[in-house]
A and B are shown apart, each in its own frame.
Chain A
Amino acid sequence: MDNYRFKYFFKKRIQILFVFLIILLLIPLLKIFYLQIIQFDRFTALSKNNSIKIIPIPPKRGVILDRNNIILADNKLVHSLEIDRAFFSALPEIQLRLKDKLNIDIDIDIANKKISYLYENTVPISFNLSDEEIARFVAHQYLFPKLSIKQRFIRDYPQGKSSAHLIGFINRINDKDINFLEKENLTNRYLGSTHIGKSGTEKFYENLIHGTPGFKEIEVDAKQNVIRTLQEEKPIPGKAINLTIDYRLQKIAEKAFGEKKGALVAINPKNSEVLAYVSQPTFNPALFTNGISHEAWSNLNDKDSRAMLDRVVAGLYPPGSTLKPFVALAALKNDIRKPPFSIFDIGYFKMPRSSKVFRDWKRGGHGTVDMIKAIAVSCDTFFYGLGLELGIPKLNKVLDDFNFGKKTDIDIDGEKSGLIANKAWKKKKLNESWYAGETAITAIGQGFTLVTPLQLANATAKLANPSLSIKPHLLLSIDGIQQDKQEVIEKKQSYSDENLKWVKTGMVNVTKEGGTAAFLGRKSNYQMVSKTGTAQLFGLKIDEEYNEDILPDKLKDHALFITYAPAIDPEIVIAVIVENGGHGGSVAGPIAKKVLDAYLVNKKL
């Protein structure tokens, strides 16, 4: 092949080659045209998805206040020790070094947290550092370049252990909560939230105080570092709620209880506002905010003290003699034992057509006793016979009117309905028939009957104000706006003024000379309308005597006391139960009296 021919040949081949290369280059050009022009929208969306994240901003939880704006629960700005999320895996080593070098302990349960604080550049590892520890850390921060101190809001309970059952607590959202939120379609409201109300008001009014999360649109890079905020919608904070509670009374009642176990409820009989709501012993709600240790939890659930039990609505007690005013009203309504009818009490009641004997609490008896005296001295003998003659159905009808045996529907979680027993119930539950003796002891508040302190207070409020038709409630206002009271729609029987007056007179006489709590009346500058009660925890054998001194504490009787005052135009109703307190008048009475004094006499304290 000579040179000339080669040149010709070569020219042809590079022409072919050039055309081939143009065609070859057209392929990626077409592909890029497809990507950039035809699929532009899709890839723009993908590109935004890549880099733009929507981050929920949890709302600030609403504060809980008492009726005088004393703070029961709010949010506190705290210093938290935080770790750069990129170095999360180094945490065990950091934990050791913190302990070793600075003697600082950090929270143990950290695995969950990284998820809770998604899209935050740092994750808190401790909220509990003391000022001294913070100072120590800051001085040695160069040793821990991956840690920093930040400020965060955490739920705070300034009253400490006081009123814990009323306020309740919040805790981390768990699987159960997530299921619930999904079922209720509330998941969107909890985006970004780490905690939820678990008991008390914190739980019942979760809806109000939780708020609505805001959103932040942020740009992140491939390593999920936040580059900048594109737009932000502020969260709507939860509503502030005022409770009907008068924290001053709460505090006085708690102090009066001291180390004793039990409950106290105070209600305004004009509108059923709950003024005091005390359950003792109590717990520290702050313990739960960031997860409670196993040890602390088992302490709280100790069988003897049962600190977690909200005794006000979930404590079930035999009412003892505090039931007598209601039993009396049932008798009077059915025209039984109306004054001036009286009996002569010799200290016991003998069952008709039987050798069985029921003792009065007072040896030797009370002598001549009519309805008024029977209430004042709490004469058991009088009520045994009354009960037998009245019978369970008629008694239960009146107890039902006073809302015993069913929930009051108060606005707090975990309320129990108590128990008003009858023949059918006993058959079903115990498969036993009803004995006449059980009717007799039911009339003095023993037997199967179980009430909650709230039921007792609620029923007493109805005695104080028979026209009262509002449910007991704790919510006073939302963001300062007064709330409507919920009326009870149920139809009640009416009670004649005369009957009510006899019962009231008996109750007035409780704190007068000869009454079961006469000592309370001596020092009182207002008229109390009361009833003492002593609930036996174990059945005494016939003729066996109860001796307070030799019984172990936990088998001792419960002391009960119900009262309202003043006698004319009553302003406050109180029910007190002191577990294993012994006699009602002497143990529970003074606690109630202190609260009454505070409310009625030292109003401006």
Chain B
Amino acid sequence: MIKVLEKYKKRIDIPLLAITFFIMFLGLVTLSGSNLDTSHIIINQVINIFVGLIIFTILIFTNPRILFSYAPILFLITIFLLILVHFFGVESNGAKRWLAFGVFNLQPSELMKITLPLMIAWLYQQYQNKISLRLHFTAIFLICIPVYLVLLQPDLGTSIMIALSGFLIIFLAGISWRLIISSMLVAILSSPLIWINLHTYQKNRIINMLDPFVDPLGTGYHTIQSMIAIGSGGGFGKGWGEGSQTNLNFLPEANTDFIFAVYSEEFGFFGVTIIFALFLLLIFRIFILANNMQSTFSKLLTVSLGVSIFSAIFVNIAMISGLVPIVGLPLPFMSYGGTSMVVSLASIGIIMSLNNHKTLIAN
């Protein structure tokens, strides 16, 4: 038994796990402070964490070589699933995002957040000695396929996330600055074209971000209520369980997407600073681990997974504080919900697995 634990201990990175647990703990504290009927929510969230930890454990005992060798196939399968969504997906709110498998719903675009970085990292690992402009363009092409498919659903937020996770790897693999800048220019110039092709509800979200108080009871409602929750928290917050915005139901989705607003209302700017520090530490530790890894694949995949978590955190907080439109994205490790928790913990698991097998993928 002790041996198993010893083995387990060897395979995990204690600082990274400690930071993750601390953030999850703050999430649970925030959830349980609500006066609303939350007992089942707490139990469910503990179950979510438990399931996530099982997957995490499986992954840290998995040889990343398996991941590496299956990367192209996993990528192709996910692409196939995305195409299936297009034809057989469950439609809700005018978007097709889910595949229904009886009781279990699968969102292939979420899967793509892992399988695309896997694929691109695999690509650069495979051709690490022949990195050229052509390789970069191949990578860009591979990124564009899932991004386009997710845009079709339509799901702007997720497709941007997927694109970022892919391009990040190209950046880390050493694409020249000249290319980065020129592609950025192309993106900026093409933005009017994107605007024209946006759906009305997406346009509304962007307009509301610019001035949420224009339509306080309409589409701006969520942003305003969330800003009120944060603002009225002040320096040290209203205290645990004392958030009136939350407990009186003014804040929508208080347990899921808007949990950070609840946290800010109850713990104030002091609490916000602590959680920001934790998020930075999390990303810092992941970068340290990536830097110490030996293989190109491990390094690229680790940073990509880390930045994926960071992006979700950033977009969620920016959305809640009224900086970007409401896109319906949970806060990793804190929001109530199974998928987000499992995917986040799985990412940490993969990173630790890569860390355990620094030399397993030999160059």
Contact = CB atoms under 8 A, between A and B. Distances in A.
A9 B174 CA distance: 7
B314 to A, nearest CB: 6
Contacts of B100: none
A221 B247 CA distance: 8
Interface in B253-298: 264, 268-269, 272-273, 276, 279-280, 283-284, 287, 290-291, 294, 296
A36 B230 contact: yes
B128 A22 contact: no
A13 B264 contact: no
A292 interface: no
A35 interface: yes
Contacts of B168: 17
Contacts of B234: 36-37, 40, 44
A222 B249 contact: yes
Contacts of A220: 248
B229 A28 contact: no
Interface stretch (B17-25, B41-49, B315-323): B315-323
A46 B268 CA distance: 16
A3 B363 contact: yes
Contacts of A22: 280
B310 interface: yes
A28 B314 contact: yes
A33 interface: yes
A47 B229 contact: yes
A222 B250 contact: yes
A526 interface: no
A25 interface: yes
Interface residues of A, number: 40
A47 B232 contact: yes
Nearest to A14: B287
B318 A21 contact: no
B131 interface: yes
A449 to B, nearest CB: 67
Give the residue among A3, A9, A39, A43 with the most B Cβ atoms within 10 A: A43
Interface string B67-88: 0000000000000000000000
Interface in A7-30: 7, 9-11, 13-14, 17-18, 21-22, 24-25, 27-29
A6 interface: yes
Contacts of B233: 36
A7 to B, nearest CB: 8
Interface in B93-131: 128-129, 131
A102 B171 CA distance: 77
Interface in A422-453: none
Interface in A256-275: none
Nearest to B221: A222
A14 B290 contact: yes
Contact of B248 (A25, A29, A222): A222
A29 B276 contact: yes
A17 B279 contact: no
A3 to B, nearest CB: 5
Contacts of B227: 35, 43
Contact of A50 (B250, B284, B291): B250
B244 A219 contact: yes
A290 interface: no
A31 B323 contact: yes
Nearest to B35: A227
Interface string A190-221: 00000000000000000000000000000111
A392 to B, nearest CB: 73
A523 interface: no
A35 B265 CA distance: 11
B231 A35 contact: yes
Interface in A48-83: 50-51
Contacts of A1: 128-129, 131, 174
A25 B232 contact: no
Contacts of B174: 1, 6, 9-10, 13
A40 B232 contact: yes
B263 to A, nearest CB: 11
A43 B234 CA distance: 9
Nearest to B322: A31
Interface in A299-317: none
Contacts of B321: 28, 31-32, 35
A42 interface: yes
A575 B29 CA distance: 84
B215 to A, nearest CB: 16
A223 interface: yes
Nearest to B296: A6
A2 interface: yes
B273 to A, nearest CB: 8
Contacts of B290: 10, 14
A221 B248 contact: yes
A39 B231 contact: yes
A27 B235 contact: no
Contact of A11 (B276, B291, B296): B291
B357 interface: no
Nearest to B225: A50
A127 to B, nearest CB: 33
B88 to A, nearest CB: 37
B303 interface: yes
Contacts of A29: 272-273, 276
Contacts of B210: none
Given A35-B230, A40-B232, A222-B250, A47 B244 contact: yes
Contact of B314 (A18, A25, A50): A25
Interface string A313-351: 000000000000000000000000000000000000000
A6 B291 CA distance: 11
Contacts of B303: 14, 17
A221 B36 CA distance: 11
A3 B264 CA distance: 45
Given A13-B171, A29-B272, A21 B310 contact: yes
Contacts of B131: 1
A18 B284 contact: yes
B299 interface: yes
B231 A36 contact: yes
B269 A47 contact: no
A354 B321 CA distance: 104
Contacts of B307: 17, 21
B228 interface: yes
Interface in B300-315: 303, 307, 310, 314
A-B pairs, top 7 by smallest CB distance, nearest first, are A43-B231, A47-B232, A221-B248, A35-B231, A222-B249, A36-B269, A43-B232
14 contacts: A6-B128, A7-B299, A13-B171, A21-B310, A27-B323, A28-B314, A32-B230, A32-B272, A35-B231, A36-B235, A36-B264, A36-B269, A50-B245, A220-B248
Interface of A: 1-3, 6-7, 9-11, 13-14, 17-18, 21-22, 24-25, 27-29, 31-33, 35-37, 39-40, 42-44, 46-47, 50-51, 219-223, 227
